[in-house]
Amino acid sequence: MSKKLFLQAIVKFVLGVLLVGLLVFLPAGTLYFFHGWLFMGILFIPMFVAGLVMMAKNPKLLESRLNAKEKQMDQSLVVKLSGLMFLAGFIVAGLDFRFGWFPLPKSVSIGATVVFLAAYVLYAEVLRENTYLSRTIEVQENQR
């Protein structure tokens, strides 16, 4: 494990938490937004744990997962557009809380949380099975 990789991972993680927190809670107009905190928890706690596991067991995989620079123009456009969609989703969630546009039953929040965590477990299994899983499309040395 290199100190540089550790610092890069921690900085990206903290910046991600801050950015998503701002995008959710500023439009909400308050920090008293339970579903915002729930979302932050189910998004970032498993992400942090996965990062620690990758740091300990497969630092090369963590390094490739942190590399988000797409070299192909078409794929780069897809990444940028999907990023805009995520940003809009965070902002709309905060605005929805502030203005009460679409109140959901508690059962929907619980169900969505369970599905999200199950998806994270599947993602962790993919990372465990495929050590060549980088964020960009590339062929790596010795890749099968």
Residue type, 126: V
| Span 111-139, pLDDT tens digits | 999 999 999 899 888 877 776 665 555 55
DSSP state of 131: T
> What's residue 24's pLDDT?
95
pTM over 0.75: yes
What angle is formed at CA 90 by the lines to CA 87 and CA 91, rounded to 5 degrees? 85
Is residue 63 within 8 A of residue 5, CB to CB? The reply is yes
